[in-house]
Amino acid sequence: MANLKEIRNRITSISSTMQITSAMKMVSAAKLKKAQDAITAMRPYAEKLTELLQNLSATLEGDVGGEFTTQREVKKVLLVAITSNRGLCGAFNSNVIKEAKSRSEYYAGKQVDVFAIGKKGNDILSKTLKVIDNQSTIFDHLSFDNVAAIADTLTQKFVTGEYDRIELIYNQFKNAATQVVLTEQFLPLAPIKSDKAVSTGDYIFEPSKEEIVLTLIPKALKTQLFKGIRDSFASEHGARMTAMHKATDNATELRDQLKLTYNKARQAAITNEILEIVGGAEALKG
């Protein structure tokens, strides 16, 4: 059994750790509320934009997507891995990294590169895959304009033929305790089809439905990437809040166990001292 000083030091160390994890939990909880409100407010817009694009495209004949829907033989693939800049958030980052490695194995025999958004993904994936860029500073000033610039870069890489397929890998936010890893095809655009009935109202389109669709596609791509990053940002704080909550609970349980062990050891030490005193007194009497 460890001596009393060692147990006291462990209790002090665990108590300090509890203060840190508890503070991190509260910080993530505060940030989660803002991030959750942002993604919740954005989803209806993104869904309506997709619905509008589907309704317009369903009434057109032929390929109206232009260079964004060009289907080429897949030889070069770009995986956009969206992670965080910091750890201590459970399996949040490792799940995305695991999925990126799984996709690279799926495209075995083809050129597979990574476009990292987040420091953690860049640090780990760069050891096994080629990371062509790392946009870890995007979370410092997360705005649509900054994300749109990244979307333009990705679009340009596809349009120029540098890559034949681009996929997004990120955590979709469900709630504070649940995040789902998604892999979405970014480019080329999949054939736009809608299971819902297409609106057949008497509308006048200016300048034309074709031009409207071609204008909406870049907007939809930027919105898709922004929604993915927003989802990941909210998921990060949810995962960190949950992880720190569990860490605080575990530290509390361990501290209580150590206090019990300390009290037992202290009682044993006092008992031994009393026995020694009594034994000494008896020896003097003899």
Q: Residue 277 belongs to what H/E stretch? A: helix 209-285
What is the DSSP annotation of 36-100?
HHHHHHHHHHHHHHHHHHHHHHHTS-S--SGGGS------EEEEEEE--S---STTHHHHHHHHH
How far apart CA 239 and CA 210 sit, in angstroms, is: 43
Picking from 76, 63, 48, the residue whose alpha carbon sits closest to that of residue 167 is: 76
Active site residues: 89
Instruction: Return the exposure string of 84-100: e unless at least 16 CB atoms fall within 10 Å of the residue's CB, then b.
Output: bbeeebbebbebbbebb
Q: Among residues 198, 158, 171, 189, which one has the least CA distance to residue 76?
A: 158
Span between the terminal Cα atoms of the chain, in Å: 34
* Cα 52 to Cα 280: distance, rounded to the nearest angstrom: 94
